[in-house]
Amino acid sequence: MKTQVVVIGGGPAGMCAALSASKTGAKVVLVERDEVLGGILNQCIHNGFGLHYFHEELTGPEFAHRFRIMVEADKNIKVLTNTLVTKIEDKKVQIMGKNGFEEIEAQAVVLAMGCRERTAGNISLCGTRPMGIVTAGVAQKMVNIDGKMIGKDIVILGSGDIGLIMARRLTLEGAKVHAVFEINSTSSGLRRNIMQCLEDFDIPLFFNTTIFEVVGKDRVEGVYYGQVDKNFQPIESTRKFLKCDTVVLSVGLIPEMYIAPDTITCKTTGGAIVNEFYQTDKPWLFCCGNILHVHDLVDNVALEAEQAGKFASLYALGKLPTQSKSLPVVAGEGVSYVLPYSVFEGQGKVEFKLRLKTKVVRKNLVAKCGANILGKKFVLAGVPGEMLKFEIEKNGASDKIVVEIE
Amino acid sequence: MKIFDCVVIGGGVVGAAIFNKIVRLGKSCVLLDKASDVATGASKANSGIVHAGYDPKPGTLKAKLNVRGAKLFPQICKRLGVKLNCCGALVVGDDKEKILELYNRGLQNKVKVEIWDKKKLHEKVPKLNANLNVALWAEDSKTVSPYLFTIGLVEEGMINGGKVLLEADISAISKDGDVFKIETQRGMIYSKSVVNSAGAGYNQIARLLGSETKKIQLRRGEYFVFDKNTLDVPCTIFPLPTDLGKGVLLTPTVDGNFLVGPTSAPSDDVTAVTKTGLDEIRQKAHLLMPDIDFRNTIRQFSGIRTICGDDFVIEKSRKVPGVVNLAGICSPGLSSAPAIAEMVINLLGYSTKEKDNLKKIQPYVMFKNMSKRQQKEILKTDPSFGQIVCKCEKITKGDILAVLKRPLKIKSVDAIKRRTNAGMGRCQGGFCFTKVVKAIAQERKIEYKNVLKENRGSFVAVGDIREEE
């Protein structure tokens, strides 16, 4: 099979990248491993999606549906569902699907595979391995897609957004959510989710607290939990027991880069290093969405993917302008990462996406090139759990750009 | 009333090897296990190493059976279609005397061993700790999937006339003349002889039989599983052994993952992973290879070894004629299993001649490993082989359904995982868990919520949401 752009992953990032690549003029193949397009949005039946992109509040499946009908109507996009990409090698994409193993040859490839959840194994959770230790995403799939109750007495480890959403969801379905434990001193979830999913339902959130050990032979029978010191080591004197039948893990997401060819990745995000065009160190390989960095709002994923799709399409068509000098962009004081990791020297605006290291109140975010201030933005209240956007004029920059809290 | 020649109690690798051997002799045999699958105890949670045999003290059963077992392994694996990773093993240290001691043991046990100097050692394992300067190389050391090996032995026994009863807890055993009457949850079994290979449950069965109980010590071994391509470990790497065992080792599995462990701590029969254990492994593994990045671990598990004195106990019961006792089959139990089976049929007084026309077992071949032509053929008749279930290990729905149609009727997610690797990859079932559950429910015609993770009671859901009134 031959095409101009292959987009891997049929979630919001993949669909938006495919639509944008097609609009820019390329023939596109969109590959999705599941039976339907939509990705994880299909199981996110709560609302709160689309406020920025569509200016209305949608559920996850509704948000996905709007793009799905556009993709299905687009004659330049060929959709392959139930198809897994098994290898990417020099613009050749090996797939496994209804015809077994096949190959697609393309001019450009967009990675939009999202992220996977950190598991009990990733955090070396101690104790036994009974049924009832599930990641928040699996719990969400079982409840919302399969209609099955995962347990009656729930403990949630980690305060990531899906964990918070599931605390509310499981409560509404009649389970008792006894506690949310967060090993850090702040939550990685959105503030609105802490209010709407925990506080409104009187579910306690314990900071600097984690599960020491899971107990149970066939099903979870309880957990020992307690506080941790500043090195995240358990403080044994605080050890307590809590009876429960389910432990839901919401302990972070990892960009799903494993199928990507040997690409340079960022230590902080786990995603690929990309330039202004969302282009990796391999010029034909582009990245967008959660595989690049974990977003908190799908609206931002859609916007980012549209950009990446456009540039991939231009590259495939041989229309991507050759660029001047590449200027590295680095995270300075108080900032954990900034995207893109480099911009091209020249005129015009560029939008940075970044996360803070810690909570910030009434401070300025600045972008500097040497002593030259390229842009400034006032941050009234910022938390690591919420991505910030920061647009600057790049005129005048001729060297490394540092983005930091003043 | 059918009277079997022999009942084997305990479907670990040792019980499976004995069951397989007895069936191959043309005797009638039943294998009983209380779990919902075979190989769910020590046989699913160990290093998966077929030891060459340089380590056990010469003259012991461990030495004799290890060397003989390791010799039998390749041909049995070939017959069963079970993969062996012939990676070899190194014992590394900074004490030449101790390596020499092991070398001499190896020679006494008639095992191929070599002494390697620092240069050769570091060429083979460049990431090894620089202060390790001498090693023993045993080229015949291999790795195997201990559960696939057990399953293969059991299924080959079944297609050749052996009977397997799972979830068959035993409530009573009595003897009427020469015939044992075994009351199980799956019905009454009559048999002329009984093999007690119940592992950690040895004494429980011995009490029911009225045969010798033993002083058994349980020791827990904890492990880290590493993702594929995350360690530069070309062969099994042991530290110098101590009284507590072979120590924390690094080993490549047949599937391309790596195991780092085990610990050895006294324990009860609970396979829990502990912080102390994991910290100990991290510290000891770094002595072998300083730059191991434990963020690449995808799973931790623990297994229980049963220890009964210094050697294996394999004997005819003096108290109850017709009973063979097997106790304390710890390491090198997996390596020795085929030889233990030979020894047991000898103790049972059977002739060693195998029956004619033994049926060959269909090996487990996943779609991704079939030839292009086989893939094309199978997709024509069964499109489920074109449906992805596990993305990390590239397992299709057809692969899962084929496993469910095998002779041993398993019904748990973990049983599928052991046979196909679905759920064993880096996302640990995040993508495939519910798909596997649905495939089991469909094939076994049971409700989703009644599908098990492993044993009875480990049901995957507690009910339907908004149950209809």
* Residue B468 lies inside a defined structural domain of this protein: no
The 10s digit of each residue's pLDDT in A111-155 is: 999 999 999 999 999 999 999 999 999 999 999 999 999 999 999
Mean pLDDT for B401-428 is 96
How many residues are given for chain A?
Answer: 406
CA A30, CA A292: separation in Å to the nearest integer? 18
Q: Are B342 and B324 in contact (CB under 8 A)?
A: no
Q: Do A130 and B298 touch (CB under 8 A)?
A: no
pLDDT for position B467: 59
**Does residue B468 surpass a pLDDT of 60?**
no
Instruction: Count other C-beta atoms under 10 Å from residue A56's C-beta.
Output: 11
User: Which residues have C-beta within 8 Å of that of residue A18, sequence separation ≥ 6?
Assistant: A5, A7, A28, A30, A71, A74, A77, A110, A309
Q: Which long-range contacts (CB under 8 A, 24 or more apart) does A348-352 make?
A: A348/A393, A348/A394, A348/A395, A349/A391, A349/A392, A349/A393, A349/A394, A350/A276, A350/A391, A350/A392, A350/A394, A351/A389, A351/A390, A351/A391, A352/A389, A352/A390, A352/A391, A352/A392, A352/A403
Nearest CA in chain B to A221: B458
Q: Over the stretch A347-361, which tens digit does the pLDDT of each residue have?
A: 889 999 999 998 899
Residues B316 and B346 occupy one common structural domain: yes
**Cα distance between residue B115 and residue B96, in whole Å:** 9
In chain A, the residue whose alpha carbon lies closest to the alpha carbon of B391 is A84
Q: What is the amino acid identity at position B22?
A: I
Mark yes or no for CB contact A122/B298 under 8 Å.
yes
Contacting A residues, span 225-254, partner chain B, CB-CB under 8 Å: 234, 245
Give CA angle at A122 (A116, A124), nearest 5°: 155
A138 touching chain B per CB within 8 A: yes
B448 touches chain A (CB under 8 A): yes
For residue B255, the one-letter residue type is: D
**Closest partner residue to B458 among A33, A127, A131, by Cβ?**
A131
Say if A101 is an interface residue toward chain B (CB within 8 Å): yes
CA distance B378 to chain A (A): 10
pLDDT at B107 over 80: yes
Task: Give the torsion through C-alpha atoms of B158, B163, B169, B173, to 10 deg.
Answer: -140
Taking a C-beta distance cutoff of 8 angstroms, is the pair A132, A124 a contact? Answer: no
Place of tokens 């009595």: B174
Q: Is residue B459 part of a domain?
A: no
d(CA A10, CA A7): 8
Interface contact B298, partner A, CB < 8 A: yes
**Residue B74 pLDDT greater than 70, yes or no:** yes
Mean pLDDT on B72-82: 98
- DSSP-assigned states of every residue in B32-94: E-SSSSSS-SGGGSS--EE--SSSSPTTSHHHHHHHHHHHHHHHHHHHHT--EE---EEEEES
pLDDT digit string, tens, across residues B175-203: 999 999 999 999 999 999 999 999 999 99
Residue B466 lies in a domain: no
Q: pLDDT-derived band of residue A384, with 50, 70 and 90 as boundaries?
A: confident
Residue B427: give its domain's CATH number.
1.10.10
Closest-CA residue in chain A for B463? A149
Interface membership of A255 toward B (CB under 8 Å): no
| Contact in structure between A251 and A118 (CB atoms under 8 Å) | yes
**Chain B residues within an 8 Å CB radius of A122:** 295, 297-298
Nearest residue to B185 (alpha-carbon basis) of B172, B175, B196:
B172
Residue B68 and residue B152 in one domain:
yes
Question: Chain-wide mean pLDDT for chain A?
Answer: 95
What domain range includes position B70? 1-84+144-216+308-363
CA distance to partner chain A, nearest, from residue B96 (Å): 36
Strand partners of residue A47: A59
Give the Cβ contact number of residue B32 at 10 Å.
27
Instruction: Kindly state whether B256 is in contact with chain A, defined as any CB-CB distance less than 8 angstroms.
Output: no
Q: Is residue B376 part of a domain?
A: yes
Tell me which residues of chain B, numbers 355 to 374, contact chain A at a CB-CB cutoff of 8 Å: 367-368, 372
Least confident segment among A140-154, A218-232, A259-273, A389-403: A259-273
The answer to whether position B437 is within a domain reads yes
CB within 8 Å: A148 and B452:
no
With a cut of 90, say whether residue A260 has pLDDT above it: no
Q: Answer yes or no: do A218 and B458 touch at CB < 8 A.
A: yes
pLDDT band of B268, cuts 50, 70, 90: confident
Mean pLDDT of A34-58: 95
Instruction: Tell me which of B431, B442, B454 to substitute to probe the interface with A (most A C-beta atoms closer than 10 Å).
Output: B431
Q: Are B222 and B262 in contact (CB under 8 A)?
A: yes
- Nearest-CA distance from B124 to chain A in Å? 24
Per-residue pLDDT at B164: 98
Q: H-type helices in A203-275, by residue range?
A: none
pLDDT for res B469: 45
Phi, psi of B343 (to 5 degrees): -65, -40
From chain B residues 403-432, the ones with a CB under 8 A of any chain A CB are 426-431
**B175 and B93 within one domain:** no
Chain A residues touching B430 at Cβ < 8 A: 116-117, 119, 135, 137-138
B71 Cβ contact list (under 8 Å, min separation 6): none
Indicate whether B150 and B193 sit together in one domain. yes
**Per the domain annotation, does B460 fall within a domain?**
no
Question: What residues of B act catalytically?
Answer: 51
Distances (CA, A) of B171 to A89, B168, B184, B321, B336: 59, 9, 6, 20, 30
Helix (H, G, I), strand (E, B) or coil at A138: helix
Q: Do A148 and B449 touch (CB under 8 A)?
A: yes
Is B456 an interface residue toward A (CB < 8 Å)?
Answer: yes
Q: Are residues B376 and B433 in the same domain?
A: yes
CA A135 to chain centre: 15
> CB atoms < 10 A from the CB of A201, how many?
13
- Do residue B347 and residue B376 come from a single domain? no
Name which of B241-245, B353-357, B363-367, B389-393 the model is least confident about: B241-245
Confirm whether the ipTM is greater than 0.85.
Answer: yes
pTM: 0.95
Average pLDDT, chain B: 96
What is the rounded CA–CA span in Å between residue B198 and residue B214? 13
A258 touches chain B (CB under 8 A): yes
Residue A52: per-residue pLDDT: 94
- Using the structure block, give the residue that is written with the tokens 């347990």: A151
Which residue, among B276, B450, B465, would best test binding to A if mutated, counting the most A CBs under 10 Å from its CB?
Answer: B465
- Residues B56, B104: one domain? no
* Percentage of residues in chain A having pLDDT higher than 70: 100
Q: Are residues B120 and B11 in the same domain?
A: no
Query: Does B158 lie in the same domain as B78?
Result: yes
Beta-bridged to residue A287, according to DSSP, are A111
- Checking DSSP bridges between strand A176-181 and strand A326-331, what pairing results, if any? unpaired
Nearest by Cα to B156 from B40, B343, B24: B24
Subunit contact B464:A148, Cβ cutoff 8 A: yes
Greater pLDDT, A396 or B336: B336
A322 touches B at CB < 8 Å: no
The distance between the two most distant Cα atoms of chain A, rounded to a whole number of Å, is 65
More confident residue, B270 or B101: B101
Share above pLDDT 70 across residues of chain B, in percent, rounded to a whole number? 99
Cα distances (Å, whole numbers) of residue A139 to A144, A148, A377, B26, B464: 8, 9, 39, 49, 13
| Domain co-membership, B298 together with B226 | yes
Q: Is the pLDDT of residue A263 over 90?
A: no
Question: Is B465 a member of any domain?
Answer: no
Which of B392, B430, B462 is nearest residue A117 as measured by Cβ atoms? Answer: B430
User: Using 50, 70 and 90 to split pLDDT, how confident is the model at A323?
Assistant: confident
Residue B261, SS3 per DSSP: strand
DSSP state, B248? S
Closest listed residue to residue B198, CA positions, set B42, B3, B350: B42
Q: How close, in Å, is residue B234 to chain A by CA atoms?
A: 21
- Say if residues A71 and A29 touch (Cβ distance below 8 Å): no
Contact B391 A143 (CB under 8 A): no
Q: Are A140 and A156 in contact (CB under 8 A)?
A: no
What pLDDT score was predicted for residue B245? 78
Q: Note whether A108 and A282 are within 8 A (CB).
A: no
Same domain, B279 and B134: yes
Helices (H) and strands (E) in chain A, counts: 6, 29
- Residue pLDDT, tens place only, B28-65: 999 999 999 999 999 999 999 999 999 999 999 999 99
Q: Is B247 helix (H, G, I), strand (E, B) or coil?
A: coil
Q: Which residues of B touch A149 (CB under 8 A)?
A: 461-465
B290: in domain: yes
Residues A391-395, mean pLDDT to the nearest whole number: 89
Joined tokens for residue B330 = 């710890």
Phi, psi of A223 (to 5 degrees): -135, 145
Which has the closest alpha carbon to A109: A94, A119, A98?
A94
- Residue B97 sits in a domain whose CATH number is 3.30.9.10
Please check whether residues B236 and B177 belong to one and the same domain: no
- Read off the tokens for A218: 């066939």
pLDDT score at A191 = 87
The number of distinct structural domains making up chain B is: 3
Gyration radius from chain A CA atoms: 22
Residue B428 identity = Q
